[in-house]
Amino acid sequence: MTGLRFVPVDTGDELAQPLLAELAIEYATRYEAPEAAVATWLRNHPAGTFSPPDGGMLIGVLDGKPVTGGAFCRFDDDTAELKRIWTDSGSRRRGYATMLLAALEAEIAERGYRRVYLTTGNRQPEAEALYDSTGYTRLDEPLPSHGDVFPVAFIKALSTA
């Protein structure tokens, strides 16, 4: 037993801030972009996007410290889209991201979605490996979208049992 527990929050919650801040640094470094611009992009979404009834955000807390987190929003009537999946750099390789995905997928299924979709950047091989190892199917190209689209897309059907 790891002691990891998942807490539902919104993107403005103080538990989410350390993870979002580190995520901005990581993306800025990997994609050679200004950190401030990435931080703004990560928080640039319409109010309620990651809130019930269509979305949500979970933070994994261990000993009072946020160590992993992620969000989802409505992609279409049957599909939720994962966003902001992240594990603190000092907490990696302990299975927390896999546990996070399972918790998010359970919440997504409870909301009535039947599929999960996501896109990730081509400079995030660890993310690709995570999704490959947890039952996601890599798509040849992203699904049609109104927002930002990244080169590597995945989809997963949720069990209806």
What CATH number is given to the structural domain containing 120?
3.40.630.30
- What are the tens digits of pLDDT across the range 26-53? 989 988 889 999 888 888 888 899 999 9
Share of the chain above pLDDT 90, in %: 68
> Residue 16: which of 72, 62, 60 has the closest Cα?
60
Domain count within the chain: 1
What is this structure's pTM? 0.91
Question: What local confidence, expressed as pLDDT, does residue 149 receive?
Answer: 60
Neighbouring-strand partners of residue 115? 79, 157
Which pLDDT band, with edges at 50, 70 and 90, does 157 fall under?
A: very high
Residue 107 sits in which domain range? 5-157
